[in-house]
Amino acid sequence: MNQDIKREWVAKLRSGKYEQGRGRLRSKDDQYCCLGVLCEIGVEGGMIEPPILVGLDYLYNRNSAFLPNALVEEYGLSTQETITLMGMNDEQNKSFGQIAQYIEQNL
């Protein structure tokens, strides 16, 4: 994984700025999956367009639940890594702090 992006992502996950949610990248109520926080980095860096609110979800490059392919490729993440992170966030109910620690140690 791109190490500069990794450091920024970990810092944002630990910042307290993002409320954690489950099952979508970002909800209408501004709750984020850990991958939604990574999408915000992509938006800030001009890698993808800002999200569009559709119903209860924000869509990043037409995705509400999965990391857009453009970011997977640009940031050097594997499909398995994104699935693991989704599972930690959505199924295992790991906190952003726990996910940040995993990212530091494993990506």
Contact status, residue 7 vs residue 100, Cβ threshold 8 Å: no
| Residue 10 confidence (pLDDT) | 98
| Residue 60 confidence (pLDDT) | 98
Torsion, CA 103, CA 105, CA 99, CA 101, rounded to 10 = -120
Give me the phi and psi of 65, to 5 degrees please: -125, -25
**Domains of the chain by residue range:** 3-95
Length of the chain: 107
| Residue 55 confidence (pLDDT) | 96
45: confidence class by pLDDT, cuts 50, 70, 90:
very high
| Residue 70 confidence (pLDDT) | 94
Instruction: Kindly tell me the burial class for residue 106, based on how many C-beta atoms sit within 10 Å of its own C-beta (0-12, 13-18, 19 or more).
Output: exposed
Q: Which residue has the tokens 């392919």?
A: 69
| Residue 41 confidence (pLDDT) | 98
Give me the phi and psi of 52, to 5 degrees please: -115, 130
What is the pLDDT averaged over residues 1-30?
A: 97
| Residue 75 confidence (pLDDT) | 95
